[in-house]
Chain A
Amino acid sequence: MKIVKENKNAVDIVVDFLSNGKLVFMATETVYIAAVDATNPRAVLKLISFKNRPFGKPFSIGVTHINMAEKYVVLNKTAKDLYKRFLPGPVTVVSTGKHTVASGVEAENGTLGIRIPDYQFCLEVIKKFGKPITTTSANASYQRRPYKLTDILDNISEKQKRLIDLMIDAGELAHNEPSTVIDTTLDDELVILRQGDIKLKDKNEVLSRSEENTQNIAKELWQKYEEYSGKRAIVFCLEGEMGVGKTIFVKGLARAMGIKEQITSPSYDLLLHYSLLTNHQSLVHIDTWRMIEPNSEFKQLVNDNLINQKSVIAIEWANRIRSEIRKRADDAIIVWVKIKYAKNLTDRLISWGNL
């Protein structure tokens, strides 16, 4: 692995590496990305094995201009409007793909996410390279967001390290959110798949299309609040009908926290405690579903110790103990998450806000 400081001369080095199917890490206005030639199947396979995720999960790509984007996707009016309004910038626009990128880049349903990074170095690389590059974040699945190279290197295996060919060091980036991901392939409405700094609606609301997706959204939400971990208690309050996927959400949260154990429903036990040996953190998973007097029972169960111990707490059916939670709003970070059934069988609308 080669590490080079980000400067004008580095552009040619990156282009050379990309042309040879290599895996290159570099900065954008959001996070460090893992870039490969998006049209080179072997390079994409290399990226998949670095990210440690199953084949079939799509990667977004970076281009320099809307005209370049049109070589790879069909842009409808909605998409064109978004390009005009937001790009370059931290927005990824999902459109119907033209199947001109390597297999494994487009989603299984043939859609493809494109962004134009608002970052000079990255734009110059793509321009000179003349082909799109992958712009997926440079961390392995469920690892912390990469704002500096050590965020990546400290959290991956030796095997993963060996897959990285070149790193362009731009120092520590401003801690911006990853891009907002917007699906434009449905005619009737825009669908937000990931909520970054740019908001299109007056609330934080994203669409999950699968259980894996819901877990991933939980991970992203965790990463928004991770900085408070150990300093304040963080309470994820889950509200949503039976069977909507509250426990699934907690599975994703636990995975993002680094908990390896199987998360099961705490409905019967009321409270399940998972400890992380590495950093003395713990996840407390509570369910009020079968409590008869939930407010007083919750009070007895948590005894405020959990808040004082700055634990991460996930509460299913939190709406049943709203008043007890509200009382702790001064001492803890409270994230209220609503999960709702949506149009398609596996679709869920997930919204959140602070209490």
Chain B
Amino acid sequence: MKILAIDTSCDETAAAITFDTKIVSNKIWSQAVLHASFGGVMPNLAQRQHQARIDWVIDCAIKNSELKIKNLDAIAVTVGPGLGIALGVGINKAKELAIKYNLPLIPINHVEGHLLSPFANAKELNAKFPMLGLVLSGGTTMLCLVKNIGDYEILAETSDDALGEALDKGARLLGLGYPGGAILEKIARLGNPNKYKLPIPLINDVVKNRFSYSGLKTAFVRLFSTIKDPNKQDVADLAASFQNVAFEHVLRVLEFQSKNQKFEIKNLLAGGGVINNIELRKRLRLLAKKHDMRVSFPYTKKLNGDNAGMIGVTAFLKIKNEKLKMKNFYDYDSVDRNPRLKL
């Protein structure tokens, strides 16, 4: 099944062509790309003006795929969660193309896209359900039980900040800019993660059915304010200590929940921008090994951040697995933005 997928849920304008679980092309607008093609700096405001760049991104995705739009089987579009005005741009464009080429239009949940992104390029779906699914990004921190494609039970969600957001904020506090999560990771490698004591969030929580990062963030602000003129090593130690505790929280909730399921869990899916963090991957692998689980990440880094490839793969998996009929996806009016869409 050949799909054009579009995602404009927040900052990124993204379009992709997928063929079953295979990513044929996966275009993401970034400022760097725009500089090159327009030869100038766009006003920062335009970062959220998907309107200006959506056509270009879709054209690129189609061109790179060497397919023709009329030969596609469907269009998939992210309808939420995300920023309403941003989602609207992608949805309107998707509708316009669906009408023009008389294609079915499949609405997709962005978080489900991250969740199923490890299935990209999977040759066959011999996956054993139920699995655990972990999505860690700037806007989402969520652990769920994947009973099947399309059948999920939330086990834990954040009650305040998302993990990616907390890392970005910690980075900004240390003067590492925004978004600083990736720089924080680099600097943390040079630091001692046990140098500073920070509280592991919800350490005494007996049910461990939520995440929380606001308390850790506050403790980090307090800690930072006590350090006079931090030098490079201090910053590295602070970064390492903060990241260590932030991850420890995820791992503790994950470990608790993995042992707490009725069925034996053999597989863990992990997606979202924070999954790019090598230290986190290492710790997830160790934990999985300890509990005789297999952890699956997306096959390429590009699929961790916001992108449309995962949306196309998710659309295919849902259609195939739920045996949905394409003829049911021609009611274009029913496809609408849902900024706080739940899984």
Contact = CB atoms under 8 A, between A and B. Distances in A.
Contacts of A267: 161, 165, 168-169
Contact of B45 (A245, A264, A274, A296): A296
A252 to B, nearest CB: 13
B82 A269 contact: yes
Contacts of B219: 243
A297 B83 CA distance: 13
A74 B130 CA distance: 62
Nearest to B139: A268
A301 B85 contact: yes
Contact of A268 (B159, B160, B164): B164
A243 B221 contact: yes
Contacts of A245: 214, 218
A264 B159 CA distance: 6
B10 A262 contact: no
Nearest to A273: B339
A243 B218 contact: yes
Nearest to B159: A262
Nearest to A272: B340
Interface in A211-244: 241-244
Chain B CB within 10 Å, residue with most, of A242, A296, A341: A242
B220 interface: yes
B48 A297 contact: yes
B98 to A, nearest CB: 26
B222 A345 contact: yes
- Range, interface on chain A: 20 to 34
B108 interface: no
Contacts of A265: 160-162, 165, 214
A8 interface: no
Interface string A291-323: 011001100110000000000000000000000
Q: Which of A264, A290, A293, A341 has the most CB of B within 10 A?
A: A264
A261 to B, nearest CB: 8
A262 B159 CA distance: 7
A242 B213 CA distance: 12
Contacts of B165: 265, 267-268
A156 B220 CA distance: 41
B47 interface: yes
A290 B178 contact: yes
A269 B339 CA distance: 9
A79 interface: no
Nearest to B85: A301
Contacts of A301: 85
Interface in A248-284: 248, 262, 264-265, 267-274
Contact of B83 (A242, A269, A341): A269
B159 A300 contact: no
Contact of B214 (A243, A289, A297, A345): A243
B340 A273 contact: yes
A67 B44 CA distance: 67
B104 interface: no
B340 A244 contact: no
Contact of B217 (A242, A270, A292): A242
A273 B10 CA distance: 15
A247 interface: yes
A289 B157 CA distance: 22
Given A269-B139, A270-B83, A242 B160 contact: no
A268 B164 CA distance: 9
A90 to B, nearest CB: 34
Contacts of B139: 268-269
Nearest to A295: B45
B45 A297 contact: yes
A269 to B, nearest CB: 5
Contacts of A264: 158-162
Nearest to B81: A269
B138 interface: yes
A243 B340 contact: no
B221 A241 contact: yes
Given A242-B221, A267-B169, A300 B162 contact: no
A296 B179 CA distance: 20
A160 B221 CA distance: 42
Contacts of B172: 242
A271 B221 contact: no
A247 B160 contact: yes
Interface string A339-350: 001000100000
Contacts of B138: 268
11 contacts: A242-B221, A243-B218, A245-B214, A267-B168, A271-B84, A272-B339, A273-B340, A289-B169, A292-B47, A296-B45, A300-B85
Interface of A: 241-245, 247-248, 262, 264-265, 267-274, 289-290, 292-293, 296-297, 300-301, 341, 345
Given A265-B162, A293-B43, 6 more contacts: A242-B169, A243-B220, A244-B218, A268-B138, A293-B45, A297-B48
A-B CB proximity, top 7 nearest: A243-B218, A268-B139, A292-B44, A243-B221, A268-B138, A243-B217, A265-B161
